[in-house]
Amino acid sequence: MTEPGKPTIVVDNLHVEYKTFSSGKAAADRRSLLNKQRGVRVVHALKGVSFVAHEGESIGVIGHNGSGKSTLMRTIAGLQQPAKGAVYGAARPALLGVNAALIPDLTGDKNVVLGGLALGMTPSEIEEHREDIIDFSGVREFMDLPMKAYSSGMAARLRFSIAISRDHQILMVDEALAVGDKAFREKSEQRIRDMREQAGTVFLVSHSMRSILDTCTRVLWIDHGRLKMDGKPKDVVGAYKKSK
Amino acid sequence: MTEIDYAAIAREAGLPRVGARPTLPAYLKEMWERRHFATKMARYRIEASLAQNRLGLAWVVLNPLLQAAVYGFVFGVIMPRDTREGINFIPFLVTGFFVFQFFGQSFSQGAKAITGNRSLVRSLGFPRMLLPVSAVIRQVYELVPMMVVLAVILVGFGEAPRWEWLYVPPILALMTLFNTGVALIAARLTVHLRDVTQIIPIVTRLLMYMTGIFYSLEQVLADNPPWMLTIAQLNPVHDYIQLVRAMVLDGQEVNTLIVVVAIVAAFAFFVAGIFFFWKAEERYGRD
């Protein structure tokens, strides 16, 4: 193994808590103040996770549903405040999730603009990348149709293409590789490898062990909010598979 | 397990903490750099909300116009006429209602800007202030066709175009500052306490009656002690509407108090709103 590059992300004893309502209706429940107070329950999603990520690493994050993988990613991206501990990062890490910014009633073309702006591109950068995005997604002939008319696979491909169009120093991909057909998946994996070679750090959350083994140089196994294992993909994936 | 001093590693590598609130100048600079997101989102949301309707964009104007018609029916036909002596009622009502609508919508949409875009706040990093600001920008866009229709109505009801009309855009610009401040304050309050959304329609309704959309406060309060009118004129919403009315209608007066309140409230609310909203930047999307 080569010597790791400079640290890009330092996660220091990270704890994250969610306040929620035990009725399960969460914030929608506004019937009375008393009710609300009584129902509050604290969910401890992350219980002290620490690690250091370096330049040129591609880190897979695995774990069962609800183990805290997505919470970890969101906290590293600065979207979730830690209850305790801290995350230090060189650049603002970008979480690959452009979905929320898009409007299904609008055409694919307009959504490319909107998604790009949401990711922090300038209008001229979007013009520059527009063709690449459309080419990569492979849905060129549907660009002037509203996105709600797309099949789920087409929509997912366009979303992914918008999301990776920007050069990120630190990139997080949350199960996005599961989208699309085989050809698109291979293209996506190649794109992520390229990004890593530009001295970036890539995090990949996935349930597909094949994707993890194919693209990652290191794997973190999160279990019930704790870092259970951190090491080479083969070792960690092997142990994870055995635990099932 | 050996103890590793992670904070020291981060210091050595010169890594700042992620998600820390930037200083106010840095924050505003980032806002400016990403202004296109706010404007495009405002425009596209109007397009998307209207794409389903047959009449499309016409609803932006038609909806407030029909609402004004309802109030016009109630207050114009049923209410006694001495509340608006010598006033060209229809232009008076529509002017007031359209301008009030600009405030009311900015207030309620601004309040929902963070809580209503929860998934956006939770998945992408950007200055959160863009969301309430975008909500106000959307209202500004919708105001433009409303003002065009207002001009048509004014002319149709015998108010000839005059040079004073040119004062209306600057007055509305001042009001936009005020609305933005109110939207930012409401947006943060709603995050702290969701119940605020329940109160906003009531506050808006109360303000509407206190503002005098269907009657002239100046006339209704004429027989009462003067301090009552002074209090009514301390309401900035009333002052913006009264200023616009004075520019487009005959027989509408403004005094120094109205002008001063309109200007002071615009800048005071704008600055206070920005500061108040920025203070809680780290909290949005946390729950």
pLDDT one-digit tens code per residue, B172-228: 999 999 999 999 999 999 988 888 888 999 999 999 888 888 778 877 787 888 888
Q: Report DSSP letters for B40-68, one per residue.
A: HHHHHHHHHHHHTSSSTTHHHHHHHHHHH
Q: What percent of chain B has pLDDT over 70?
A: 95
Average pLDDT on B120-142 reads: 89
> What is the C-alpha separation between A104 and A158, in angstroms, rounded?
12
Give the span between the Cα atoms of B65 and B94, in whole angstroms: 7
Alpha-carbon gap, residue B11 to A89, rounded angstroms: 10
Measured between its terminal Cα atoms, the distance across chain A in Å is 29
Residue A168 tokens read as 């990120």
User: Residues with Cβ < 8 Å from B146, sequence gap 6 or more?
Assistant: B60, B61, B64, B98, B101, B102
What token pair was written down for A193?
């490898």
- Helix, coil or strand: residue B180: helix
Mean pLDDT of B64-70: 84
Question: What's the whole-number mean pLDDT along residues B110-120?
Answer: 87
pLDDT > 90: percent of chain A: 0
CB contact under 8 A, B51 and A6: no
Q: How far apart, in whole angstroms, are the C-alpha atoms of residue A224 and residue A91?
A: 28
Percent of chain B with pLDDT over 90: 36
Residue-wise pLDDT for A119-164, tens only, equals: 888 888 888 888 888 888 888 888 888 888 888 888 888 888 888 7
* The pLDDT value given to residue A94: 66
Distance CA A178, CA A175 (A): 6
Alpha helices (H) along chain B = 6-13, 24-33, 35-51, 58-73, 89-111, 118-123, 130-156, 168-192, 196-211, 217-220, 226-233, 236-248, 256-279
| Bridge-based pairing state of the strands A201-205 and A40-54 | unpaired
A39-48, A116-125, B122-131, B270-279: segment of lowest average pLDDT? A39-48
> Could you report how far apart the first and last alpha carbons of chain B are, in Å?
33
Read off the pLDDT of each residue in B15-34 and give the average, rounded to a whole number: 85
Residue B7: phi, psi to the nearest 5? Answer: -60, -35
Which residue in A79, A145, A166 has the most chain B C-beta atoms within 10 A of its own C-beta, making it the best mutation to test that interface?
Answer: A79
3-state class of B241 per DSSP?
Answer: helix
**How far is residue B11's CA from residue A128's CA, in Å, rounded to a whole number?**
37
The rounded Cα B257 to chain-centroid distance in angstroms is 21
A-interface mutation test, from B11, B15, B121, B200, most A Cβ less than 10 A away: B15
* Residue B160 contacts A where some CB pair is shorter than 8 Å: no
| Residue B82: other Cβ atoms inside 10 A | 9
pLDDT of residue A165: 78
Cα(B263)–Cα(B38) distance, integer angstroms? 25
pLDDT of residue A150: 85
For residues A225 and B1, give the distance between their C-alpha atoms in angstroms, rounded to a whole number. Answer: 18
Residue A120's pLDDT is 82
Q: How many CB atoms lie within 10 A of CB A109?
A: 15
**If you average pLDDT over each of A159-163, B77-81, B169-173, which comes out highest?**
B169-173
Give pLDDT, residue B1: 44
| pLDDT number for residue A176 | 58
Give the pLDDT score at A26. Answer: 47
Q: How many CB atoms lie within 10 A of CB A3?
A: 5
Q: Give dist(CA A42, CA A20) in Å, integer.
A: 6
Q: Strand order in A7-21's β-sheet?
A: A40-54, A7-21, A84-89
Threshold 0.90, pTM exceeds = no
> ipTM of this complex > 0.90?
no
Res. A197: pLDDT tops 80:
no
Q: Which residues of B touch A230 (CB under 8 A)?
A: none
Q: Taking a contact as any Cβ pair under 8 Å apart, which residues of chain A between 78 and 117 contact chain B?
A: 78-81, 86-90, 92-95, 97-101, 103, 105-106, 110, 113-114, 117
Q: So what's the pLDDT on residue A1?
A: 42
